[in-house]
Chain A
Amino acid sequence: MNDAEEDSPSAPPEPGEVGLVEPHDFVCTQPFTCESGQVLPGFTLRYETYGRLNAARDNTVIVCHALSGDHHCAGIHALTDAKSGWWNNFIGPGKAVDTTHFHVLCANVLGGCQGSTGTSSTNPATCRPFGVAFPFVTVRDMVRAQKLLCDQLGLTALAAAIGGSMGGMQVLQWGIEYPGFVRRLIPLATTARESAQAIAFNEVGRQAIMQDPDWHHGDYGRGGGPRVGLAIARMMAHITYLSDQSMDAKFGRRRKGVADNPAYTFDVQFEVESYLRHQGESFINRFDANSYLYITRALDHFDLAAAYGSLEQAFAPVTAETLSVAFASDWLFPPDQNRAIVLALLRAGKRASYAELALNLGHDSFLLESEDLYGLVRSFLGSPASP
């Protein structure tokens, strides 16, 4: 008594790679007023694109990155690159976001530190890095800046906006802010309202940075800065992206260098300690501490229900169809918070679907290789247009 026999999905093509890619800069010379009321005299967004823009200029899928992500979401910058873009398993010819059909755009967020204007950029007023003189940015500001980039590229519509975590927040904001411009929304492992627990974790990270004597109230110049504080912030945050189960499976209680280490010291003894220290170390070489403060603050301020009166009112203008995906082991933005998004969209009379995957990596599950996730997103992007 089921209808399983009815479905015979055609096998997806053998996935390929987007290969060598290069970043571009969009320079906006117009002043940009942030939601906080503070004004940037202009800004730059660093971005990458893959795949071809069609003649109607409406086949772009915008990829929105998470807190520590950037514009380099697929491909490699040089043949010697050891690692490809952060969502390379997801984006490319024949992959879940298929670059043979879609033009993919991903920009480093405003306030970020990977080439877009942020705290480490030079403040034209002082000829020094902005530091904490940078305007407070919000998720909505990030999206508004990306829309200016889309306009510059001459895009007439977005086929979809997709992203996990903070990327998912941007996706929701896209649907609210620019209805009619974006046809499909795919928020993954996200929330419509940063919870007290999530704010609490962000605050511990910020305190680690700000209590580091090298922070100097944000005025640390290039290269220096609160390296210890930033590393600790990252180590702590990284735990929230995983799950008890996945950490135990990956590290258990395995020892690290026990042979030459006496048991009773505070040196690294467990593999999980070594892993976290490595995460912290590699993060300080690529991330700016002030940027971390600003972006976590943007996350804290994200509360669609408060910003628009209620979640239903927030979603009232949405015309896009939504597919929300949550992960059973995600305890940072748990399934219930993702369900709340879909239920509110449905109450507001919108078309929305919700699926939940039993992957065990925790919050970061959205980055895993999962045929179920690929199939779902591929089907949604290729499904018949809404009636």
Chain B
Amino acid sequence: MSKLVAKRTVDMQIIGDWVEPGSRVLDLGCGRGVLLDYLQQTKQAHGIGVDLDFQKILGCVRRGITAYQGDMEAFMRAFPAGFFDRVICSRTVQELTDPAAVIVEALRAGRAVTVGFVNHGYWKNRVDAFFRGRKPRNPVYTTEWFESRPANPVTVSDFERFCAAKGITVTRRAVLRGDWHTPCRFRPNLFAGYALYDLTR
């Protein structure tokens, strides 16, 4: 198992622990449906994924995962408040043009919202920026700036300040060290490589 696959599995397991069996789950930026497939198999979740890219939808359909090709905000607006038991935004926030709007809309359409992201405050990323003066590159962010999509890096501290400012309740938090496995007990903004939050209004 490659390091990358191992890292993905860890975050899937934590989300899996938070998902109630049989619940209705919306995955924003679902990719090829790997997470929903896992939740469907382990938690009998009723999942639907949203992604912009046709090939991702094809990947979902191939797995037997239902998916919707289109804009995630417009998709959520088509549902009444609290329609989904949980909206998952896993490794997607840094790609959004308006993350606040998406999270607020997710908190309306979903009764709980799970957000997971790579912590750009992690010390290695800071060292990269400080000593090399360059965009962080590591096994997760493998690309040069000119081969990357525009991304909006977020840190643990950024995210928690955002939740506080918006009056969003953090019901659960999982912060993991650089190996994305060991719980990080000390100064997560500096020492956590990955963070997961469970939110409610």
Residues of A within 8 A of B (CB): 1-4, 6-7, 9, 321, 323, 339, 342-343, 346-347, 351-358, 372, 375-376, 379-380, 383-387
Contacts A352-B66, A355-B69, A357-B54 hold; do A383 and B48 have CB atoms under 8 A apart?
no
- Chain A nearest CB from B47 CB (Å) reads 10
Closest A residue by C-beta to B68: A354
Judging by beta carbons under 8 Å apart, are A372 and B66 in contact? no
Judging by beta carbons under 8 Å apart, are A383 and B31 in contact? no
- In Å, the complex CA distance between A358 and B48 comes to 22
- In Å, the complex CA distance between A246 and B79 comes to 36
- Chain A nearest CB from B44 CB (Å) reads 7
- In Å, the complex CA distance between A379 and B58 comes to 8
**Nearest 3 pairs between A and B by C-beta?**
A384-B64, A379-B62, A383-B64
Judging by beta carbons under 8 Å apart, are A376 and B8 in contact? no
Judging by beta carbons under 8 Å apart, are A351 and B66 in contact? yes
Judging by beta carbons under 8 Å apart, are A9 and B62 in contact? yes
Which of B58, B67, B70, B141 interacts with A372 by CB under 8 Å? B58
Closest A residue by C-beta to B56: A2
- In Å, the complex CA distance between A2 and B57 comes to 13
User: Main SS of the interface on chain B?
Assistant: mixed
- In Å, the complex CA distance between A357 and B55 comes to 10
Judging by beta carbons under 8 Å apart, are A343 and B78 in contact? yes
- Chain A nearest CB from B22 CB (Å) reads 10
Q: List 29 A-B contacts (CB under 8 A).
A: A3-B31, A3-B34, A4-B32, A6-B32, A7-B32, A339-B70, A343-B79, A346-B48, A347-B78, A351-B46, A352-B66, A353-B68, A354-B67, A354-B68, A354-B69, A355-B54, A355-B58, A355-B67, A355-B69, A356-B69, A357-B54, A358-B54, A372-B54, A372-B58, A376-B57, A380-B61, A383-B63, A383-B64, A384-B63
Across-interface contacts of A357 in B (CB, < 8 A):
54
Q: Does B111 have its Cβ within 8 Å of any Cβ on chain A?
A: no
Judging by beta carbons under 8 Å apart, are A355 and B78 in contact? no
Across-interface contacts of A321 in B (CB, < 8 A):
66
Contacts A1-B140, A342-B68, A347-B78 hold; do A353 and B57 have CB atoms under 8 A apart?
yes
Across-interface contacts of B44 in A (CB, < 8 A):
387
Among B44, B46, B60, B69, the one with the most A-chain Cβ atoms within 10 Å of its Cβ is: B69
Q: Does B181 have its Cβ within 8 Å of any Cβ on chain A?
A: no
- Chain A nearest CB from B16 CB (Å) reads 16
- In Å, the complex CA distance between A228 and B80 comes to 51
Across-interface contacts of A7 in B (CB, < 8 A):
32, 59, 62
Task: Number of B interface residues at 8 Å Cβ cutoff, please give it.
Answer: 31
Which of chain B's residues 116-143 have a Cβ closer than 8 Å to chain A?
118, 140-141
Q: Does B159 have its Cβ within 8 Å of any Cβ on chain A?
A: no
Which of A2, A353, A375 interacts with B67 by CB under 8 Å? A353
Judging by beta carbons under 8 Å apart, are A347 and B83 in contact? yes
Across-interface contacts of B48 in A (CB, < 8 A):
346
- In Å, the complex CA distance between A7 and B31 comes to 11
Contacts A379-B62, A383-B61 hold; do A2 and B31 have CB atoms under 8 A apart?
yes
- In Å, the complex CA distance between A383 and B58 comes to 11
Across-interface contacts of A385 in B (CB, < 8 A):
64
Judging by beta carbons under 8 Å apart, are B57 and A355 in contact? yes
Judging by beta carbons under 8 Å apart, are A347 and B79 in contact? yes
- In Å, the complex CA distance between A384 and B91 comes to 27
- In Å, the complex CA distance between A223 and B62 comes to 50
- In Å, the complex CA distance between A321 and B46 comes to 13
Across-interface contacts of B69 in A (CB, < 8 A):
354-356
B68-93 interface code vs A (CB 8 A; 1 in, 0 out): 11100001001110010000000100
Judging by beta carbons under 8 Å apart, are B61 and A355 in contact? yes
Contacts A3-B31, A339-B70, A346-B48 hold; do A356 and B140 have CB atoms under 8 A apart?
no
Which of A3, A323, A346, A347 interacts with B61 by CB under 8 Å? A323
Among B67, B68, B79, the one with the most A-chain Cβ atoms within 10 Å of its Cβ is: B68
Which of chain B's residues 6-58 have a Cβ closer than 8 Å to chain A?
8, 31-32, 34, 40, 44, 46, 48, 54, 57-58
Q: A355-B69, A383-B63 are in contact. List 5 more A-B contacts (CB 8 A).
A: A343-B79, A351-B46, A357-B54, A376-B58, A379-B58
Contacts A353-B57, A354-B70 hold; do A1 and B91 have CB atoms under 8 A apart?
yes
- Chain B nearest CB from A323 CB (Å) reads 7
Across-interface contacts of B118 in A (CB, < 8 A):
1
Closest B residue by C-beta to A385: B64
- In Å, the complex CA distance between A355 and B59 comes to 11
Closest A residue by C-beta to B94: A1
- Chain A nearest CB from B145 CB (Å) reads 15
- Chain A nearest CB from B148 CB (Å) reads 10
Which of A6, A347, A387 interacts with B34 by CB under 8 Å? A6
Judging by beta carbons under 8 Å apart, are B54 and A383 in contact? no
- Chain A nearest CB from B188 CB (Å) reads 20
Closest A residue by C-beta to B79: A347
Judging by beta carbons under 8 Å apart, are B61 and A353 in contact? yes
- In Å, the complex CA distance between A142 and B75 comes to 33
Across-interface contacts of A351 in B (CB, < 8 A):
46, 66
B179-201 interface code vs A (CB 8 A; 1 in, 0 out): 00000000000000000000000
- In Å, the complex CA distance between A355 and B50 comes to 10
- Chain B nearest CB from A325 CB (Å) reads 9
- In Å, the complex CA distance between A341 and B62 comes to 21
Across-interface contacts of A379 in B (CB, < 8 A):
58, 61-62
- Chain A nearest CB from B73 CB (Å) reads 13
